[in-house]
Amino acid sequence: MNEQQRSILLHSTSCFPLPPGVKLSYGTAGFRADASLLESTVFRVGILAALRSVQTRSVVGLMITASHNQASDNGVKVADPSGGMLSQHWEPFADTLSNAGDPNTLLQLIDDFAKKEKIPLEGASEGEVLLGRDTRPSGEFLAEAAKQGITSIMGVNATDMGVMTTPQLHWMVRSRNKGMEASENNYYDQLSTSFRCLMEYIPKGNRNFNVNDKVIVDGADGVGGEKLEILKKLLSDLSIDVRNRGDGVLNEGVGADFVQKEKIIPRGFGPADVGFRCASLDGDADRLVYFSIELNSNKIVLVDGDKILSLFALFIKEQLNILTGEDGKVNESYQARLGVVQTAYANGASTYYLKQLGLEVVFTPTGVKYLHEKASEYDIGIYFEANGHGTILFSESFLCWLEGRNNELTSTSKCSEQQEAALRLLAVSKLINQAVGDSFSGLLLVEAILKHMGWSMFKWNELYHDLPSRQLKVKVVDRTAVITANAETVVVRPIGIQEAINAETAKYPHGRCFIRPSGTEDVIRVYTEAISQEAADSLANSVATLVDQFLGFNTTK
């Protein structure tokens, strides 16, 4: 690091002192906290994003959002050149950088890390960071802190993209690094064009099926509502009624997290909406769940991320079977691998259903970064969490083969069933956001598949019936005392607790249970399933008692 760079960093860092007593850590969702505590952290993440851009010689992204958290919170995370999450290799550096106590310590950390990672900091480097934020009032002043951090690394530009959804920013980063046009309008054009293509190849027998063309969407009073209003103007085959577009309080009684956890009608919906397909986005529009409203009740029938995953898997498997035959062989030297990735929180009924379809189902620890990484190992990898965050990944080799196969079929005199299947899969690969979970692309793909199948939402929901489940949190002295294995389904420390859990679980028909330490607070999370809600509750309480016995404290909530 030369003296000019050192001087710039010393000056800018001194303007953003750490708030006393605050220590944050970078998780799957980046840093999150009350917005009043984040200015220094966002500034430092700006530095990190700039360093990542210089190292990779690529565009990276920085998003200011706290997703489904309350409006007074905010957060910041980095989009890697692939459009996905920040490389896990950089997470420890993010932690130490954000918590460095004084400017000199911060400079030494940057200098040491730059030397270790061979990042040139001599003023000749170039980089670019795309900066986005959601609609939170705190976003504007935090964006200024991010710009200061980004531009404190010589040669790096901060391009302010303004207010946008998190998936839009990730999509833009991925597109820019692929040499594609990457404006917000390009995003809308790609989604609407791909959706129209899918609608064009709906089987003739299903085109006039009585599937309501209207879907009512809860925008969580966040950025998703206002952006969906723009997108829907480009869609001629679907009527979207957007509610909660920003007139109320962000995420308060609305949004995907509220709907999924509380299972009650969000604000802005009522008896007049009974019988319609309804969907909820979260605050930054990277989660999606569907629901229907029960007659004469404030309760809903939830169609969560597991059901969305199952619908996508069923459709894609159908297209592959048309295109390649039941054995999945596309030619003698190539075999398409379709895989489904879940966490232990996926309802057991969904896993059983997917396996009955003949699909390969694998599990990872909780966290999108683990799901995404595993899904990328397949030709087509589908992952979703029950909370509605997920996407579909297509390998470059499979897409290359698919393009070639489509060109071969085009040479025939008419569009065959196989070519239609190839065109549908190509359209899905462009409609779905392969960088990150995206409620807009997920919504359009759900709507296209339901139309393709000729299904109502109620028929979709009948694919399988969830096993009753229960989640509890048990306060403990030290959550790190619990060590898990096998995608967090088995406890290896403390010794003896897993055997006790197994013995308790065996008492309940269709019983399933696992515990795992929280990533953010000193609690152990307990998840149970059983044949009835009463049994799931009873098993959860029994296992919570075991956790108390092995780890101390006697408080659950």
Q: 222-262: per-residue pLDDT in tens?
A: 999 999 999 999 998 899 999 999 999 999 999 999 999 89
526 Rama sector, left if φ>0, alpha if ψ -120 to 50, beta otherwise: beta
Q: Which residue has the tokens 């995420």?
A: 251
From 40, 67, 98, 175, the catalytic residue:
67
Three-state secondary structure call for residue 277: strand
Q: Which amino acid is at 451?
A: K
- Kindly state the tokens that stand for 177: 């690094």
User: For this structure, is 67 an active site residue?
Assistant: yes
Q: Which candidate, 130, 140, 111, 168, places its Cα nearest to that of 46?
A: 130
- Kindly state the tokens that stand for 325: 């035959």
How many other CB atoms are there within 10 angstroms of residue 68's CB atom? 26
List, in sequence order, the alpha helices (H) in 178-265: 184-200, 223-232, 256-262
Q: Which residues are annotated as a binding site for substrate?
A: 385-387, 516-520, 525
Q: What pLDDT digit, counting tens, does each position of 17-49 carry?
A: 999 888 888 877 899 999 999 999 999 999 999
The pLDDT score that the predictor gives to residue 332 is: 45
Rounded distance between C-alpha atoms, residue 490 and residue 152, angstroms: 46
List the end-to-end C-alpha distance of the chain, in Å, as a whole number.
Answer: 51
Q: Which residues are annotated as a binding site?
A: 67, 282, 284, 286, 385-387, 516-520, 525
Three-state secondary structure call for residue 293: strand
Rounded distance between C-alpha atoms, residue 428 and residue 426, angstroms: 5
Rounded alpha-carbon distances, angstroms, from residue 198 to 32, 193, 201, 390, 421: 38, 9, 5, 20, 10
- Kindly state the tokens that stand for 452: 């393709």
Q: Which residues are annotated as a binding site for Mg(2+)?
A: 67, 282, 284, 286
Rounded distance between C-alpha atoms, residue 266 and residue 294, angstroms: 13
Three-state secondary structure call for residue 393: strand
The pLDDT score that the predictor gives to residue 555 is: 41
The pLDDT score that the predictor gives to residue 210 is: 55
How many other CB atoms are there within 10 angstroms of residue 1's CB atom? 18
Whats the size of the chain, residue-wise?
A: 557
Provide the CB-side half-sphere exposure for 433 (13 A, CA): 32
The pLDDT score that the predictor gives to residue 186 is: 97
347 Rama sector, left if φ>0, alpha if ψ -120 to 50, beta otherwise: beta
Query: What's the farthest any 2 CA atoms get from each other in the chain?
Result: 73
Q: Counting Cβ atoms within 10 Å, is residue 454 exposed (0-12), middle (13-18) or buried (19+)?
A: middle
Low-confidence ranges of the chain (pLDDT < 70): 123-124, 205-211, 325-334, 412-415, 520, 553-557
Rounded alpha-carbon distances, angstroms, from residue 348 to 9, 336, 513: 52, 26, 11
